Structure 1
Amino acid sequence: MRKYKVGCIQATPALFNKDKTMLIVEKWVKKAAQQEVKLLVFPESFIPAYPAGLGFGTVVGSRTEAGRDQFQRYWKNSIEVPGPETYQIAEWAKAHNMFITIGVTEKDAVSGTLYCSLLYFSPESGLMGKHRKLKPTAAERLIWGEGDGTTIATFDTEIGRLGGLICWENYMPLARMAIYQKGIQLYVAPTADARDSWNATMIHIACEGRCYVIGCNQYFTKSDYPEDLAPHLATDRPEILSRGGSVIVSPLGKILAGPLFNEEGLLTANIDLDEVVRSKMDFDAIGHYARNDVFKLSIEGQPEIKPDKTS
């Protein structure tokens, strides 16, 4: 399959409520299916939402009981992988013949540690795998643990080689190169960054990696938080906590859809994998433009890369 439609969901989850958020996921999957979307991308930690504006009762050197209660509530509404929620998303992927990627807060089944994870679903095989965010940014480190090299993955699928990084991982040059080394064609970048500069990053990655890039963010406001959590939000934050900015970019850096700001929506674009080939005529970071005699990159915990296999 060389030509098809991709979709990017910019939506508001039911914050801190995984069950209601799953209903929202189902709604958008059905809407995308009506437009014959073959690959659908959801934002970073869509289940159970990116907790923008909350401090979980912390300052350097102390924590509060109210903050621990908020964390426990967030933990309770996070999901295990695999688990009931992943089985359900796999069913939707199968029913609509659609590849789905979605950001979640994952609860480790053994340790209970939370991770910011990116999940990949196939209509044939269900949950293909996951990537755990390597380095949570700033206060994110309070709630999420660090992933490792074993989850830096791409998946060789009928729609192309699919993979990606989460939010500011995309600012890590070696992390990007690790993805490029796997021959990425469809690069997903779920994020919580709604600044104008983020779109420049998406365009740069498309040009650097010679791949399609789908940057995906949430849209939500302070008013979307449950009433009992609203008083704990930072007072210096604006009413719109995440204005979105989702975008779809071609391998030569052309914006195909978006950026979408200050509203929910489904972005779509028609793609052609032959454009990936055409774009590499004059630049290929892992091929004719590489200098493997000068530069070497190895990633701890990574399996050997084998051609034409999921890696």
Structure 2
Amino acid sequence: MPLPTVNVGVVQATPALFDLAKSVDRVVDWIQKGAEQGCQLLLFPESFIPCYPRGLRFDAVVGRRTEAGRAVWLDYWTNSIETESTEIDRIREAVRQAGIMVALGVTEREPIGGSLYCTLLYFGPDGRLLGKHRKLKPTGLERYLWAESDGRTLVSFDTELGRIGGLICWENYIPLARTALYQKGVQIYLAPTADARPSWQSTMQHIALEGRCFVLAANQFVRKSDYPDRYQAELADEPEIMSPGGSVIVSPMGEVLAGPLWNTEGLLTAELDFSVLAKSKLDFDVVGHYARPDVFQFHVVNQPDTQRVREGE
């Protein structure tokens, strides 16, 4: 059984765009802040390292690639992170010192081949990298930047804090991807994103109600002036606030526990009461008494078993 209550935090912050080393510095700083605020679990936004490259075109035209676009790609690729690296070692040590679980959105560089993935990394309170989820289906021009994943990274973790898993940004609009997590019994559902539309709040409330789970959603706060000077000309027509945020924490009954946070950096915190989660199953359990296995059959290819992560095991 999970703890009766769990203190969680959602980071809404600005990365050091296109700067791997400085972005890692900011991750370390926010981990320390989360620990100081009593968080037992801390969620960062989608692609916090090295940034979500909102507004950049990578000079993409159907049927043609250019040297200008390859130069932007190289900049992004160079500042993306590998899971076996000194940068990850720094983050692991910061997590270990803080003694909390951390879920960190990154653009991950595959060392063999060099493809990029939009990835959510999971760190245990001892600093171990427990596993990762790679985005199944990048959206729109994201497909030009990020490779696709498969069921092998639809991960979930059975921890002292409860069962934890999540999806990235518009993966949350894939009903069967959500169902794959619900079937694992996810109680704390993580949704790092780059979507700052007000309608995203409805999506997060829907998932909380549908999955009868706590939902943590994290987005970046980014201004045009945060981009390096070399990209200012391309972004000339963009508004100064390019991502206003909208991070939020929602209960299994769809009630907003913290946020949404707009137009600033900040750390949202909430105490999750697991008795609320249990009571929410009285009238709806999407994989329990509200399921119809006699009518619907569902199978996920290569989804791993839930990993048990408990102290002393």
Deviation at 1:61, TM superposition (A): 2.5
Deviation at 1:85, TM superposition (A): 2.3
Deviation at 1:274, TM superposition (A): 2.2
Note if 1:169 corresponds to 2:179: no
- 1:160-309 correspondence to structure 2 within 5 Å: 160-233=162-235, 235-303=236-304, 305=305, 309=308
Note if 1:56 corresponds to 2:58: yes
Aligned residue pairs total 307
8 Å CA contact 1:90–1:123 kept in 2: the answer is no
Greater alpha carbon shift after TM alignment, 101-110 vs 89-98:
89-98
SS of residue paired to 1:62:
coil
8 Å CA contact 1:205–1:213 kept in 2: the answer is yes
In structure 1, give the amino acid aligned to 2:96.
K
Runs of 4+ in 1 over 3 A off after TM superposition: none
In structure 2, give the amino acid aligned to 1:40.
L
Deviation at 1:60, TM superposition (A): 1.9
8 Å CA contact 2:48–2:220 kept in 1: the answer is yes
Change (3 A) 1:39 1:76: same
SS of residue paired to 1:29:
helix
CA distance in 1, matches of 2:152, 2:142: 21
**1:152-188 alpha-carbon deviations (Å, 9 max, x no partner):** 0100011010110000000000000001000000101
- 1:147-162 correspondence to structure 2 within 5 Å: 147-162=149-164
Deviation at 1:63, TM superposition (A): 2.5
SS of residue paired to 1:231:
coil
Deviation at 1:231, TM superposition (A): 1.6
**1:197-232 alpha-carbon deviations (Å, 9 max, x no partner):** 000000000000000000100000111000012222
**1:96-155 alpha-carbon deviations (Å, 9 max, x no partner):** 110000100000111100000000010136110000000000000111000111000100
Aligned to 2:27: 25
Aligned to 1:4: 6
Deviation at 1:7, TM superposition (A): 0.3
CA distance in 2, matches of 1:36, 1:236: 41
Greater alpha carbon shift after TM alignment, 206-215 vs 273-282:
273-282
8 Å CA contact 2:83–2:108 kept in 1: the answer is yes
CA distance in 2, matches of 1:154, 1:237: 38
SS of residue paired to 2:141:
helix
Candidates 76, 79, 96, aligned match of 1:77:
79
8 Å CA contact 1:44–1:192 kept in 2: the answer is yes
**1:21-73 alpha-carbon deviations (Å, 9 max, x no partner):** 11111111111111111000000000000000001111222232121111001
CA distance in 2, matches of 1:27, 1:250: 27
CA distance in 2, matches of 1:282, 1:149: 30
Aligned CA RMSD, in angstroms, stands at 1.3
CA distance in 2, matches of 1:244, 1:42: 12
8 Å CA contact 1:87–1:126 kept in 2: the answer is no
In structure 1, give the amino acid aligned to 2:298.
L
- Normalised TM-score (structure 1): 0.96
CA distance in 1, matches of 2:133, 2:84: 13
- Normalised TM-score (structure 2): 0.95
Aligned to 2:17: 15
8 Å CA contact 1:189–1:216 kept in 2: the answer is yes
8 Å CA contact 1:101–1:121 kept in 2: the answer is yes
Q: Unaligned 5+ residue runs, structure 1?
A: none
8 Å CA contact 1:207–1:252 kept in 2: the answer is yes
CA distance in 2, matches of 1:65, 1:232: 16
In structure 1, give the amino acid aligned to 2:215.
V
Candidates 38, 43, 46, aligned match of 2:48:
46
